[in-house]
Amino acid sequence: MAPAAVEAFAPAKINLALHVIGQRADSYHLLDSLVVFADVGDSLRVQGAGALTLEVTGPRAAGVPCDADNLVLRAAHLLAPGQGARITLEKRLPVASGIGGGSADAAAALRALSQLWGRALPAAVDVLALGADVPACLDGRPLRMGGIGEHLVPLLPLPPVWLVLANPGVAVATPSVFRALVRRDNAGLPPDPPRVATAADLAVWLRLTRNDLEAAALTLAPVIGAALRALSAQPGCLLARMSGSGATCFGLFADPLSAAAAARAIGKAEPGWWVADAGLAPPQATRATT
């Protein structure tokens, strides 16, 4: 019997490192990226219905489309064209912020609707049409992501780490950031990190890497620099870097108390920013109700 409703969590995607290593003839950029997922994100609930509808609620719902432009509805059409469901998306992550909010929502919709409708999940190459981050978000494990997002290799287990995410209140369009790139043929990541035991060891390895989009994004939104400086100034911050195409930046911490204190301090100093502390999220499972 099909469940009456299915709930899914859509965790924020964090690019610990992101190298742009080439560009294909069709203009898609080739990436080499280290991706993890934070335990802060959006929530999605699907119920059986005759027609396919989407309602967006939550503190970050303003400006999120509920029409065919929304990746959640595009994901539903990809999974089962013509099938009906009532979808409610609670939006907590800022939009156009470099942490894969829309892609995570699409992946959560695929997981939830596949259970509601009894359909198999599509392959990574098929969901790539929804966006470069969707295959990784659908997988949900710490990954090395290559190609245009379709090559996914699980990482060795990472040590316990905590993140502080800071978005300075600006939306940055990903295409604009890529257009602002000065170089598109950078070197790839070094070999995958060994089995590191501590967050400090991971930070040492991450300092061998970078986010190639950071300099380009800074030319479009200089306030990103303020977010990086605010994170770097916090006690216990091992590394501060921009995620994805921005404007969200992350600070890497070794313990949850330091991360929570840093988030409080930045939130107090910059009340107009979106700030959150988080651990790493496990691979996501859906929850069905009858």
Res 1: pLDDT: 64
pLDDT digits (tens, 9 = 90+) for 143-200: 999 999 999 999 989 999 999 999 999 999 999 999 999 999 999 999 877 788 999 9
As a whole number of angstroms, the distance between CA 180 and CA 252 comes to: 27
Pair of tokens at residue 86: 């009532």
As a whole number of angstroms, the distance between CA 275 and CA 230 comes to: 11
Strands 274-279 and 5-23: unpaired
Residues labelled as active-site residues: 13, 133
pLDDT digits (tens, 9 = 90+) for 2-27: 788 999 999 999 999 999 999 999 99
Res 285: pLDDT: 73
As a whole number of angstroms, the distance between CA 205 and CA 194 comes to: 9
For domain 162-279, give the fold: Alpha-Beta Plaits (3.30.70)
Pair of tokens at residue 154: 């699980």
pLDDT digits (tens, 9 = 90+) for 34-72: 999 999 999 999 999 999 999 999 999 998 999 988 999
For a pLDDT cut of 90, what percent of the chain falls above it? 90
Alpha helices per DSSP H over the chain: 71-79, 101-117, 124-127, 134-139, 174-179, 199-206, 214-220, 223-232, 256-269
As a whole number, mean pLDDT of residues 261-286 equals 95
As a whole number of angstroms, the distance between CA 273 and CA 268 comes to: 9
Write the CA distances from 131 to 90, 101, 226, 249, 254, integer angstroms.
Answer: 21, 11, 29, 21, 32
Res 2: pLDDT: 76
Strands (E), the chain: 5-23, 29-48, 52-57, 85-90, 143-147, 151-154, 162-167, 239-242, 249-253, 274-279, 287-289
The CA-based dihedral angle spanning residues 99, 216, 170, 242, taken in that order and rounded to the nearest 10 degrees:
40
Res 192: pLDDT: 74
What's the pTM? Answer: 0.95
**CATH top-level class of 5-154:** alpha beta
* DSSP letter assigned to residue 28: P
Which amino acid makes up residue 240?
A: A
Residue carrying the six token digits 């590191």: 196
Res 217: pLDDT: 98
As a whole number of angstroms, the distance between CA 263 and CA 179 comes to: 32
Residue ranges per structural domain of the chain: 5-154, 162-279
